Amino acid sequence: MKYVPRLVLFLAVPALLIALPWWTLVAAPTQGTGSLFWLGSALFALTFCCLPAAMYLGHGPAQSDAASIVGDTLLGVMWVVFSWSVLGNLARLGLAVAGVDDPARSRIVAAGVFAASAALVVWGVVEARRVPRVRTVEVSIPGLGPALDGLRLVVVTDTHFAALDRLRWSERVVDVVNAQRPDIACHAGDLADGSVAKRHAQVDPLGKVEAELGRFYITGNHEYFGDAPGWIDHMSSLGWQPLRNQHVTLRRGDDRLVIAGIDDPTGVGLTGHGPDLPTALAGADPDTPVVLLAHQPKQITDAVAAGVALQISGHTHGGQIWPFHYLVRLDQPVVAGLSRHGDTQLYTSRGTGFWGPQLRVFAPSEITVLVLRPQ
């Protein structure tokens, strides 16, 4: 009986995502009669059956890659159609005020919702699968020495290597990263979804990233949904230094910079894991500026208290599929970009890859170049 509420929620979400689009695209414009009504209703009923089943088979104990591709794709498409069905029905009110009667009003709305959704799904797939654009941001760091002026810190995050084979994409991302001439390279978590055995081929090109002062990696929440210790060891084998509640001091000339990293909060469920910023900064020179890698933006609270100069995070994907960023904002203080919190700055990347649905709508991916300047 304890699983009943979960099952109800598991079925209620797809029911909501499907019910409004069904009414908008099928029931209202056909007036509930005719072959198009029954054909459309059958299609939406099939989607309702397939979506939860595919999500369970893909992300549950079976971990079926084929099922996850089907389930994730359906989820993304239905979110787009649902969102634009909401907007379409708001437009319906305007048409009613303008004196447009049914069935013409419902058919205008249905045509608009279908056209907008189809265009955004196609565009969203292209945006998700393309090599991310480079975003360069200058960040002023108090106490940064002149020898470190112009230091180039290149960030990738949320690559989420998963069921879709993106080996070629991974290789091209590495080429773009190296073209930025990074002094420091960082991966801010959510490396892959799945085991090292299944996903390492897509991750392995990261071993070719070149950065003079070091390559650093932290865990995201998704590592803890799978094999976090395995991924930590694998990134070490590729020459990346995992920062698990620890720091390193980098030097150029007479000037120094601390790079620290902490575990994702999801790690508290695994013995020996979980964020511990005091431990990460133990022994660091208090007069040396600190750049902290912390996967989730909401970890900024502890960073501010510790006097961190700059926190680098991912996790949000910038919302990934509009208007999901409004829901992300309920959980995180920032969705994307550079922000200030007291004396600490936070850069939140929109992510380099995508999770689940291979869609990005109004939330483009990025490879970030943070150019550090003295303040």
Q: Which stretches of the chain drop beneath a pLDDT of 50?
A: 1
For residue 329, what pLDDT is reported? 96
Name 372's Cβ contacts closer than 8 Å, sequence gap at least 6: 138, 139, 141, 144, 148, 149, 150, 151, 153, 257, 291, 310
Cα–Cα distance measured from residue 84 to residue 86, given in angstroms and rounded to the nearest whole number: 5
pLDDT tens sequence across 9-37: 778 888 999 999 999 999 999 999 999 99
pLDDT tens sequence across 151-200: 999 999 999 999 999 999 999 999 999 999 999 999 999 999 999 999 99
For residue 321, what pLDDT is reported? 98
Cβ atoms of residues 183 and 212 within 8 Å: yes
Cα–Cα distance measured from residue 270 to residue 17, given in angstroms and rounded to the nearest whole number: 34
For residue 4, what pLDDT is reported? 59
Q: Where are the alpha helices (DSSP H) in 60-166?
A: 65-97, 104-129
**In the Cβ-directed half-sphere of 178, how many Cα atoms lie within 13 Å?**
12
Question: What six digits make up the tokens of 148?
Answer: 């470190």
DSSP H or E stretch at residue 219: none
Task: Tell me how crowded residue 221 is: count the other CB atoms within 10 A of its CB.
Answer: 17
Cα–Cα distance measured from residue 259 to residue 203, given in angstroms and rounded to the nearest whole number: 23
Q: What is the CA radius of gyration of the chain?
A: 23
- Our CA angle for 286, 287, 290, nearest 5°, is 70
For residue 3, what pLDDT is reported? 57
Cβ atoms of residues 244 and 232 within 8 Å: yes
CATH 3.60.21.10 segments of the chain: 133-374
pTM, entire model: 0.94
Question: What six digits make up the tokens of 19?
Answer: 């019910």
* Edge-to-edge order in the sheet of strand 151-156: 133-141, 366-374, 151-156, 184-187, 215-217, 241-242
Note the CATH number of domain 133-374: 3.60.21.10
Cα–Cα distance measured from residue 133 to residue 86, given in angstroms and rounded to the nearest whole number: 31
Helix 196-203 and helix 228-237, axial crossing angle in degrees, nearest 10:
40
Q: Is the dihedral of CA 35, 13, 364, 125 positive or negative?
A: negative
Cα–Cα distance measured from residue 334 to residue 278, given in angstroms and rounded to the nearest whole number: 23
Name 116's Cβ contacts closer than 8 Å, sequence gap at least 6: 84
Name 122's Cβ contacts closer than 8 Å, sequence gap at least 6: none
In 16-61 the beta strands, taken as DSSP E runs, fall at: none
SS3 100: coil
